[in-house]
Amino acid sequence: MLQIKNGGIETLVEDWPGRLGYLGKGMSASGAFDNVGLGLANILVGNSFGEAGLEITGGFFEAQFGIDTAIAVTGSDMKPVLNEKAIPMWETISVSKGDIIKFSHIGEFGFRSYLAVAGGINVPEYLGSKSTCIFGSYGGFKGRKLAAKDELVFGKPDDEPSDSTGRKLKKEAVPTYKREWILRAMPGANTSPDYASEKGMDHLFEHTFKIQHTSNRSAYRLEELPDNFFARSDGGVGGSHPSNIIDHAYAIRGALNICGNTPILLIADGPTLGGYMCALNVINADLWKIGQGTPGRDFIKFKLTNQEEATEARINQKKLLSEASLL
Amino acid sequence: MEKSINAIMPGLCARVVVAEGDKISKSQEIAVINCMKTEISVPSEYNGVVKKIISKEWDELQVGDPMIIIETAE
Amino acid sequence: MNKEKYNVILDAIPETKARLEILFRQAGDGFLQVEYGRKQRAALQDSFRMLAINDIILTKKIKGLIETVPGIRTNLLHFDPEVITNKALIDIVKEAENSMPAIDKVVLKSRIIHLPIAFEDSETKKAVEKYQKEVRPDAPNIINNYNIEYIAMCNGVTVEETKKMILGTNWFDSGGGFWPGGAFLWPMDPRCALVVPKYNPPRTWTPEGAVGIGGPCVFTYTTPTGGGYQLFGRTIPTFQFACKHPVFKDGPFLYRNADRVRFHETTEKEVNKIYKHVHEKIDYKYQIEEGEIKAEEYINWYNSEEVQKGKKELEAKQAIGVQKAPRL
């Protein structure tokens, strides 16, 4: 059991791959925004990589353990302490009943920390996932972020939690965080020549975009595009602006929606359908980087890739999120 | 002693809710930051008196940027 | 070479008498968009066909196909590229398309859901009042504290005529999305095809069951949320998170693709009573009829002299209405 002392800025129960199969019902997948952070934390404590853990955004989370167990903290370095004593990240540590874990503000790099516990977080599955959709207020823990006095129950671990204590990751398994995130992306569904100009698409893949401070789990907003981005002068029957299109399903997670002149990455809790064109799609294996992109501080750059590389990146990520990454 | 109360999140300063000369106590809200389309409250870490307001509305903030200076009792 | 740099059309099949050209667009490493026609249009016959083909694809239970998300003129296929390639999916869609060569073969399973509606009810009026107070005091789409007169004005008709049009057609669900359990409902009778602009800026709150119109589509709000559709009344629940009522036993959603919604007028008191019987007593009997849509019959009816005459008459009124109604 975990008793929450301070929910911090935004702490959510999330799993991976989230709630798949309900886009047509207006429900996006949600899920851990940085699935690599959650996945490695899970592997460290002996869980499967997609087990539910805590996604700590912005920091200031504080909680007390009700049992002896094993935990791992990954993601942005929010200077986590256990009973006021610094604890290492990216490795398994044992905690005892009564111990208090506390996080400070976000680190130099990254925006989200992950806390995995042996056995995972035991909230009821809703439509096949334990993930919270904060945008729609469902799933996870009562469909909301955690607050003081909430009590979370842990699942039953397969092995003794103490078995995993002291586990570490191979050095090459720990992801490198930067302030400029290179996201591999495939163009589509609406590109040049019919929707965007080739110059516009070049701009999209050459420019470095600052992440706007309004970015959240539904949408990561980037700097505006120039008017010459568009191939059309208006949206035809779809609407007056050239970014308008007759409503179509959004390929989330990962679509770059062009809303007016603003490019918006549609991610975890994003809208599943709407009337704006989508110019590219961040490959599944790079979605995690968006989750570590800090609003108002970090930058995003898109790198052109193709299906073969993207599929291979998925396979490599699965390898990374396995016991093969343990030292 | 002079202490600064700093931004706890990146974002835009929505407002500072105290004025110079105000007496404030620990964990009292002193300002609000807009980030992730949410208003995030910035609490004081100390008891004291507001000496100087540094941040103003629409200022872009990074974590650790000083928002106000207070004179603490100790 | 350079010309191919951003090409996303992986394949295409040419137009036939029965349908438009079909484009297969890459939409990510796990998404393929099937698009009807190069030129955008919102025509129900495209949606009928798209959904009939979609049913065929789903029946095949294809390994690696996570889901399909049909819209009015596109279908998005969400897949796992480690299990199935987009090339294999394109072949499956082509095969399904070829199995339905003529328009007279397009028969779509489609239920009719009868929904009671209370026009100008006090709950949706609260939402309009809140918007006027907190968001846009000078909102030109609010006349006499509500949106229905604005809807009528935009279409060059009276409020009574507006209500008749809402009640006078089946509203076709071309596919859901955007909000949990939501469906975009299109008028099947073009003589009832109201069109209005959406709120600008949007509302911050709308009650569960609110019914509104934005562009050509009607939307029944499944849960309390923000929104941009012009409100005209309130219906009964079309969604239930807790899945307690028997109609929601397989999931929180009432609507399925290709459903037709038919509204009938009732009192606000009756609507409120039904809420209790859906959410608390869970004994309300939804009026749902099984049925089907034959695309060819529909197109013949749509193109009949009588329907076309009425359609043109409405369009003439709308042309005048648009001039009169203030922009948002």
Domain that holds residue B67: 2-72
Domain ranges of chain C: 7-102, 112-324
- DSSP H/E element including A307: helix A307-320
Beta bridge partners of residue A250, listed in sequence order: none
Residues 243-302 of A with CB under 8 A from B: 294-297
Mark yes or no for CB contact C67/A255 under 8 Å.
Answer: no
Answer whether C21's CB lies under 8 Å from C41's CB: no
Strand C217-220 to C210-214 pairing: antiparallel
DSSP A67: S
Is the per-residue pLDDT at C4 higher than 80? no
Using CB atoms, list chains with 3+ pairs below 8 Å to chain B: A
Mark yes or no for CB contact B8/A215 under 8 Å.
Answer: no
Distance CA A181, CA A243 (A): 25
The residue assigned the tokens 């969604």 is C239
Answer whether C37's CB lies under 8 Å from C25's CB: no
Confidence class for position C1, pLDDT limits 50, 70, 90: very low
C22-C28-C30-C34 Cα dihedral, nearest 10 degrees: -10
User: Strand, helix or coil at C79?
Assistant: strand
For chain A, percent of residues with pLDDT exceeding 70: 100
Q: In this structure, what token pair is assigned to residue A273?
A: 């359908």
Answer whether C153's CB lies under 8 Å from C196's CB: no
Is the per-residue pLDDT at B73 higher than 80? no
Mark yes or no for CB contact A25/C181 under 8 Å.
Answer: yes
Answer whether C209's CB lies under 8 Å from C236's CB: yes
Is the per-residue pLDDT at C3 higher than 80? no
* pLDDT of the residue at C101: 79
User: In this complex, how many residue pairs, one in chain A and one in chain C, have their CB atoms less than 8 Å apart?
Assistant: 152
- The amino acid that residue C115 corresponds to is L
Give per-residue pLDDT as tens, C128-187.
999 999 999 999 999 999 999 999 999 999 999 999 999 999 999 999 888 899 999 999
Is the per-residue pLDDT at A142 higher than 90? yes
Q: Does A128 touch chain B (CB under 8 A)?
A: no
Largest CA distance in chain A: 64
Q: Which residues contact A247 (CB under 8 A, 6 or more apart)?
A: A273, A274, A275, C71, C72, C184
Cα separations in angstroms, A2 against A62, A99, A164, A214: 10, 10, 19, 31
Is the per-residue pLDDT at A89 higher than 80? yes
Angle at which helices C295-302 and C305-324 pack, to 10 degrees? 70
Distance CA A205, CA A199 (A): 10
Nearest CA among A264, A269, A273 for reference residue A25 = A273
DSSP A18: -
Distance CA C84, CA C86 (A): 7
Give DSSP secondary structure letters for A129-176: B--EETTTTEETTTTS---TT-EE-BPPPSS-GGGGTT-BB-GGGSPP
Answer whether A299's CB lies under 8 Å from A180's CB: yes
Distance CA B49, CA A312 (A): 59
Domain ranges of chain A: 2-170, 180-320
Exposure letters A46-56 (e unless 16+ CB within 10 A, then b): bbebbbbbbbb
CB contacts of A50 in chain C (<8 Å) are none
The residue assigned the tokens 């904060």 is A134
Q: Does A124 touch chain C (CB under 8 A)?
A: no
Distance CA A54, CA A106 (A): 15
Nearest to C29 among A186, A190, A236 (CB): A186
Mean pLDDT of C268-276: 98
Q: Phi and psi for A54 in degrees, rounded to 5? A: -105, 130
Cα separations in angstroms, C295 against C44, C105, C171, C301: 9, 8, 15, 10
Mark yes or no for CB contact B10/A105 under 8 Å.
Answer: no
Mark yes or no for CB contact C71/A249 under 8 Å.
Answer: yes
C41: left (phi over 0), alpha (psi -120 to 50) or beta: beta
A93-A96-A99-A104 Cα dihedral, nearest 10 degrees: 10
Answer whether A103's CB lies under 8 Å from A9's CB: no
Angle at which helices A307-320 and A35-44 pack, to 10 degrees? 30
* pLDDT of the residue at A42: 98
Average pLDDT, chain C: 95
How big is the CA angle at A240 (ends A239 and A241), to the nearest 5 degrees?
100
Nearest CA among A46, A84, A73 for reference residue A164 = A46
Give per-residue pLDDT as tens, C192-207.
999 999 998 999 999 9
- C112-324 CATH pick, 2.40.100.10, 3.90.1150.10, 3.40.640.10, 2.30.40.10: 2.40.100.10
Which of B40, B63, B65 should one mutate to test binding to chain A, selecting the residue with the greatest count of A CBs within 10 A?
B63
DSSP C27: -
CB contacts of A311 in chain C (<8 Å) are 29, 81-82
Angle at which helices C86-98 and C44-59 pack, to 10 degrees? 110
Beta bridge partners of residue B61, listed in sequence order: B11
- The amino acid that residue C318 corresponds to is Q
Alpha helices per DSSP H over C99-147: 122-134
DSSP B57: T
C-alpha Rg value of chain B to the nearest Å: 11
- DSSP H/E element including C148: helix C148-154
Q: How far C260 CA lies from chain A's nearest CA (Å)?
A: 16
- Count Cα atoms within 13 angstroms, Cβ side, for C33: 32
Using CB atoms, list chains with 3+ pairs below 8 Å to chain C: A
Distance CA A220, CA C142 (A): 33
Beta bridge partners of residue A73, listed in sequence order: A115
Q: What is the CATH number of domain A180-320?
A: 2.40.100.10
Is the per-residue pLDDT at B74 higher than 70? no
Q: In what order do the strands lie in the sheet with A219-221?
A: A209-210, A299-304, A180-187, A278-282, A255-259, A262-266, A219-221
ipTM: 0.97
Nearest to A213 among B8, B34, B63 (CB): B34
Q: What is the CATH number of domain C7-102?
A: 3.30.1360.40
* Count of domains for chain B: 1
Mean pLDDT of C279-304: 96
Distance CA A313, CA C129 (A): 52
Give per-residue pLDDT as tens, C56-99.
999 999 999 999 999 999 999 999 999 999 999 999 999 999 99
Strand residues in C71-111 grouped as ranges (E): 74-79, 107-109
Mean pLDDT of A146-172: 93
Distance CA A8, CA C23 (A): 48
Mean pLDDT of A65-79: 98
* pLDDT of the residue at A172: 96
